[in-house]
């Protein structure tokens, strides 16, 4: 008998209408946007898979929580609610709110990084590395080799390569490593998880050399699901328990609440060390706001607190991963090159394999994202050479092995029917892939260029 179907663990209470455009309209829109999907107007997008960041649908309880926001300038009730949620679910005693994840990255980078220091991590993330470099630090990629190979089927492809980590410590000395940065999951590798065993080992090595461990916990809930699914001994543990154990191996975390926490804005820094707390409170007033609001309204703090309790519900997390797979498996069945295994928040098209006729310096992933938009109004994001930016030492492009287009699934927003539309469009493009041409960059901003760079098609 066929498998019993599972449905969304929620009902839809409010809807937002979206508009399908004509191909001519989309061709004009992408031209006007300089072939950069970040520069499109959202009204011209039919299915928006640009990012899962701040694009979640909030629950009725979160909307109710908004009404309870305490908008006092200082000491608001909503702040204490957020602090309690972080303490209860994440297990860190101290929290400093920020307007979003990069606000927290800014604070910890200013507190711990000095020129000439090294920050090892499991593959770079754009904003994280930008903040490391702005403080004069150097990011060193110590992820396992397979993470750079889109086709390598490894259950915990986000793991730190412990030998690479020890080699770096031996080479530069522990005193020049302010912290080890572990991303859960690894966004740029395809939403790939880190095993509990690896987190334990990283903690052990860090303790041996007296180095701090800092997690980028942005999508740690999805990481907890993969541990529950794949790591021996965790099948009978709840997501909330696994999540709490993961966090126990870190000295602190940076957090973009716009992902796991199911809110449209918000983030925080959480930690165990009262000295770091004090420094973070001193800095947050300069850059974000009082330590009891950190650039957020009281209602935002309330919504994030409520989201923190909802994000670790087992049915929700299982559904989330299942929907990402629903899309990915359709593409795999059609022989389309995607990053494997299918990750937690997105399906990543392997643009090098999809468009082998376009050299990396002609931006194949950027071109593919633009072509997808023109075909169906689906907006995706380039995660390749444009996102990687330039090497500050040489000034040349960084040329990552992974040249990807990310189809990122917002939380609780789209149905499987939307995924069918996306899958159809990707398959259609694949059948006509020889017609897609490379691009030339005509405007390049100095930092985080992918957000606002502009391109023109090559003839
Ligand atoms: N991630 C994303 O779309 C939004 C902006 S970058 C295109 O994937 C990690 C792992 C992230 C992340 C944002 C941030 C920064 C830190 N770490 O965007 O500042 O994926 O809240 O968080 C984005 P904020």
Identify the domain boundary among 311, 331, 359.
Answer: 311
Span 121-164, pLDDT tens digits: 999 999 999 999 999 999 999 999 999 999 999 999 999 999 99
235 and 123 fall within a common domain: yes
318 and 432 fall within a common domain: yes
**In this structure, is residue 372 part of a structural domain?**
yes
457: DSSP letter: E
Question: What's the mean pLDDT in 398-418?
Answer: 97
**In this structure, is residue 7 part of a structural domain?**
no
Is 55 close to ligand 1, i.e. is its CB under 6 Å away?
no
Confidence band of 1 (pLDDT split at 50, 70, 90):
confident
Question: What radius of gyration, in Å, describes the C-alpha atoms of the chain?
Answer: 21
Confidence band of 459 (pLDDT split at 50, 70, 90):
confident
280 and 417 fall within a common domain: no
H or E segment and range at residue 379: strand 378-379
271 and 364 fall within a common domain: no
Residue-range definition of the domain harbouring residue 453: 23-52+314-457
**In this structure, is residue 148 part of a structural domain?**
yes
**In this structure, is residue 16 part of a structural domain?**
no
275 and 360 fall within a common domain: no
Instruction: Report the CATH number at residue 244.
Output: 3.40.640.10
**In this structure, is residue 9 part of a structural domain?**
no
Residue 44 CA to ligand 1 center (angstroms) comes to 23
108 and 163 fall within a common domain: yes
Instruction: Report the CATH number at residue 430.
Output: 3.90.1150.10
Are 455 and 365 in contact by the 8 Å Cβ rule? The answer is no
Is 255 a residue whose pLDDT tops 90?
Answer: yes
Span 162-202, pLDDT tens digits: 999 999 999 999 999 999 999 999 999 999 999 999 999 99
Phi, psi of 158 (to 5 degrees): -90, 0
Identify the domain boundary among 311, 333, 363.
Answer: 311
Please give the Cα distance from 147 to 190 (Å, whole number): 9
Is 51 close to ligand 1, i.e. is its CB under 6 Å away?
yes
**In this structure, is residue 1 part of a structural domain?**
no
Confidence band of 306 (pLDDT split at 50, 70, 90):
very high
User: What number does the ligand 1 atom closest to the CA of 450 have?
Assistant: 7
**How many Cβ atoms are within 10 Å of 196's Cβ, its own excluded?**
21
Are 100 and 290 in contact by the 8 Å Cβ rule? The answer is no
Identify the domain boundary among 275, 292, 311.
Answer: 311
Residue 101 CA to ligand 1 center (angstroms) comes to 7
277 and 338 fall within a common domain: no
Is 125 close to ligand 1, i.e. is its CB under 6 Å away?
yes
Give the pLDDT score at 70: 98
Domain count, the chain: 2
351 and 442 fall within a common domain: yes
**In this structure, is residue 228 part of a structural domain?**
yes
| Residues known to be catalytic | 73, 125-126, 216, 259, 383, 450
Q: What is the SS3 assignment for 250-297?
A: CCEEEEECCCCCCCCCCEEEEECCHHHHHHHHHHHHHHCCCCCCCCCC
342 and 260 fall within a common domain: no
381 and 399 fall within a common domain: yes
Please give the Cα distance from 265 to 303 (Å, whole number): 9
Confidence band of 19 (pLDDT split at 50, 70, 90):
very high
47 and 68 fall within a common domain: no
Question: What's the mean pLDDT in 439-450?
Answer: 96
319 and 252 fall within a common domain: no
Confidence band of 118 (pLDDT split at 50, 70, 90):
very high
**In this structure, is residue 4 part of a structural domain?**
no
Give the pLDDT score at 244: 98
């Amino acid at each position: 008998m066929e498998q019993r179907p599972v449905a969304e663990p929620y009902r839809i209470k409010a809807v937002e209408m979206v508009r399908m455009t004509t191909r001519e309209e989309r061709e004009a829109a992408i031209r006007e946007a300089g072939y950069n999907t970040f520069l499109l107007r959202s009204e011209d997008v039919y299915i928006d898979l640009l990012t899962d960041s701040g694009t979640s649908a909030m629950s009725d309880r979160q909307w109710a929580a908004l009404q309870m926001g305490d908008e006092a300038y200082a000491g608001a009730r909503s702040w204490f609610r957020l602090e309690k949620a972080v303490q209860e679910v994440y297990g860190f005693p101290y929290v400093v709110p920020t307007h979003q994840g990069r606000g927290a990255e800014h604070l910890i980078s200013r507190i711990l990084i000095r020129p000439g220091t090294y920050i090892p991590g499991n593959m770079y993330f754009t904003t994280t590395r930008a903040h490391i470099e702005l403080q004069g630090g150097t990011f060193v990629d110590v992820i396992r080799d397979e993470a750079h190979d889109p086709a390598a089927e490894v259950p915990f492809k986000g793991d730190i390569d412990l030998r690479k980590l020890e080699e770096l410590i031996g080479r530069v000395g522990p005193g020049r490593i302010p912290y080890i940065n572990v991303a859960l999951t690894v966004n740029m590798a395809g939403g790939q998880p880190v095993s509990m065993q690896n987190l334990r080992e990283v903690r052990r090595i860090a303790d041996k050399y007296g180095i701090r461990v800092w997690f980028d916990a942005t999508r740690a809930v999805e990481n907890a699901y993969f541990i529950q699914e794949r790591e021996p001994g965790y099948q009978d543990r709840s997501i909330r328990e696994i999540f709490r154990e993961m966090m126990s191996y870190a000295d602190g975390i940076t957090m973009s609440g716009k992902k796991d926490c199911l809110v449209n804005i918000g983030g925080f820094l959480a930690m165990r060390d009262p000295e770091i707390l004090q420094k973070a409170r001193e800095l947050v007033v300069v850059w974000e706001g009082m330590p009891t609001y950190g650039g957020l309204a009281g209602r935002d703090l309330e919504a994030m607190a409520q989201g923190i309790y909802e994000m670790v519900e087992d049915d929700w997390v299982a559904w989330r991963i299942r929907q990402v797979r629903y899309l990915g498996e359709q593409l795999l069945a059609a022989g389309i090159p995607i990053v494997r295994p299918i990750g937690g928040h997105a399906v990543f098209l392997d643009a090098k394999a999809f468009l082998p006729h376009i050299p990396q310096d002609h931006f194949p992933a950027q071109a593919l994202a633009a072509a997808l938009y023109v075909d169906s109004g689906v907006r995706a994001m380039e995660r390749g050479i444009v996102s990687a930016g330039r090497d500050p030492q040489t000034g040349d492009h960084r040329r990552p092995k992974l040249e990807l287009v990310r189809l990122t699934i917002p939380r609780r927003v789209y149905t499987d029917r939307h995924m069918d539309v996306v899958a159809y469009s990707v398959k259609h493009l694949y059948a006509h892939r020889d017609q897609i041409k490379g691009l030339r960059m005509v405007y390049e901003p100095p930092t985080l260029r992918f957000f606002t760079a502009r391109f023109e098609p090559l003839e």
